[in-house]
């Protein structure tokens, strides 16, 4: 008779084989890639085995354990890392799933760390994002580099001023893609300019002067900015804009 540990290990190997072979976490698709010896029992049985493996009732604890294991392996690899926030949605039957995710960018892949179904289509609100960021911070291993060491990267969907101010208040550096016609009030040569400046103008100024950064003011808080050019032709109306909170 097989021991309980042997059965669990066999189940883990079965699940791992299916997911890696299918190259997707979609269990319905992964069931088609069951090992040859297991295909005899049929698709439905294999799909049921995959579902039972994850139906433990302790999903949060498992997620947190995997979170710590993956994070430690990545951070101790010596490879460059950053955090990324993104959102993905899809239709499930007659309803929609809309996941807001914060993940680790590692070797060209995004590894999801924490996520939440925001329960409706469309963009997330600031409160939901901050709650997810707080969960990431609470789970972050204390013996690793500080979470705030890594910049948070996001698309222009996450470019709202109030959201960026909240990130800065929490001490996070971040890279967010913004439209190049976005207006900024610039701190230059020790004083605040009386006119706002568009990002594309600010980027040209930095390039012309050979400067790496310039400051700006949002509701009394100073930021240090670096503008980077868009990478693709269809991004002509956008600029990648690096924000880093300046302490004090």
The token duo for 156 is 């222009």
pLDDT at 33: 87
pTM for this model (two decimals):
0.69
Q: Which of 165, 167, 173 is nearest to 219 (CA)?
A: 165
Identify the domain boundary among 89, 114, 146: 146
Least confident residue range of 109-118, 176-185, 230-239: 230-239
166, 209: one domain:
yes
Q: Once rounded to an integer, what is the mean pLDDT over residues 152-174?
A: 85
Q: Once rounded to an integer, what is the mean pLDDT over residues 214-228?
A: 60
Quickly state the pLDDT bin for 247 (edges 50, 70, 90).
Answer: very low
pLDDT digits (tens, 9 = 90+) for 62-87: 677 778 888 888 888 888 888 999 99
69, 91: one domain:
yes
88, 17: one domain:
no
Please give the tally of structural domains in the chain.
Answer: 3
Is residue 143 predicted with pLDDT exceeding 90? Answer: no
Identify the domain boundary among 97, 128, 146: 146
DSSP the chain: ---HHHHHHHHHHHHHHHHHHHTSS-HHHHGGG--HHHHTT-HHHHHHHHHHHH--S-HHHHHHHHHHHHHHHHHTTT--EEEEEEEEEEEETTEEEEEEEEEEEETTEEEEEEEEE-SSSSPPPHHHHHHHHHHHHHHS-TTS--GGGSPEEE-GGG--HHHHHHHHHTT--EEEEEETT-EEEEEETTEEEEEEEEHHHHHHHHHHHT-S-EEEEETTEEEEEEEE--SSGGGTTEEEEEEEE---
Q: Crossing angle of helices 4-22/43-54, nearest 10°?
A: 110
Higher pLDDT, 45 or 226: 45
Domain of residue 101: give its range: 59-146
174, 217: one domain:
yes
pLDDT at 100: 94
Quickly state the pLDDT bin for 108 (edges 50, 70, 90).
Answer: confident
Is residue 5 predicted with pLDDT exceeding 70? Answer: no
The token duo for 21 is 């072979």
Q: Once rounded to an integer, what is the mean pLDDT over residues 86-104?
A: 87
66, 32: one domain:
no
Q: Once rounded to an integer, what is the mean pLDDT over residues 217-230?
A: 58
pLDDT at 236: 44
210, 240: one domain:
yes
Is residue 207 predicted with pLDDT exceeding 70? Answer: yes
pLDDT at 187: 64
Average pLDDT, the chain: 77
Higher pLDDT, 238 or 28: 28
Triad 150, 154, 157: Cα angle to 5°: 155
37, 92: one domain:
no
Higher pLDDT, 213 or 26: 26
What is the Cα–Cα distance from 132 to 102, expressed in whole angstroms?
8
132, 161: one domain:
no
pLDDT at 136: 92
80, 123: one domain:
yes
169, 224: one domain:
yes
Q: Once rounded to an integer, what is the mean pLDDT over residues 1-23?
A: 74
pLDDT at 102: 94
Q: Once rounded to an integer, what is the mean pLDDT over residues 199-220?
A: 72
Identify the domain boundary among 113, 146, 179: 146
128, 203: one domain:
no
Higher pLDDT, 174 or 221: 174
Least confident residue range of 71-80, 95-104, 188-197: 188-197
90, 106: one domain:
yes
Q: CB atoms < 10 A from the CB of 243, how many?
A: 24
What is the Cα–Cα distance from 168 to 188, expressed in whole angstroms?
20
Q: Once rounded to an integer, what is the mean pLDDT over residues 122-131?
A: 93
**3's torsion region: left (phi>0), alpha (psi -120 to 50) or beta?**
beta
């Amino acid at each position: 008779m097989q021991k309980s540990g042997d059965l669990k290990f066999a189940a883990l190997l079965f699940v791992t084989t299916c997911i890696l072979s299918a190259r997707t976490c979609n269990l319905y698709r992964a069931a088609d890639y069951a090992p040859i010896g297991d295909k005899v029992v049929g698709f439905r049985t294999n799909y049921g085995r995959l579902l039972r493996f994850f139906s433990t009732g302790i999903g949060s604890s498992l997620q947190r354990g995997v979170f710590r294991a993956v994070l430690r392996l990545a951070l101790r690899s010596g490879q460059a890392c950053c955090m990324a926030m993104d959102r993905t949605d899809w239709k499930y039957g007659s309803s929609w799933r809309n996941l807001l995710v914060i993940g680790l960018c590692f070797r060209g892949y995004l590894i999801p760390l924490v996520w939440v179904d925001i329960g409706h289509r469309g963009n997330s609100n600031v409160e939901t994002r901050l709650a997810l960021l707080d969960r990431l911070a609470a789970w972050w291993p204390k013996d690793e580099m500080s979470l705030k060491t890594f910049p948070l990267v996001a698309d222009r969907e996450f470019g709202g001023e109030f959201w960026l101010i909240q990130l800065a208040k929490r001490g996070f550096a971040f890279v967010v893609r913004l439209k190049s016609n976005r207006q900024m009030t610039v701190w230059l040569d020790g004083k605040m300019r009386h006119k706002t400046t568009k990002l594309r103008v600010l980027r040209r100024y930095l390039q012309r002067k050979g400067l790496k950064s310039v400051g700006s003011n949002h509701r009394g808080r100073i930021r240090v900015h670096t503008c980077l050019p868009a990478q693709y032709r269809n991004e002509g109306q956008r600029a990648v804009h690096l924000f880093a909170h300046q302490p004090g």
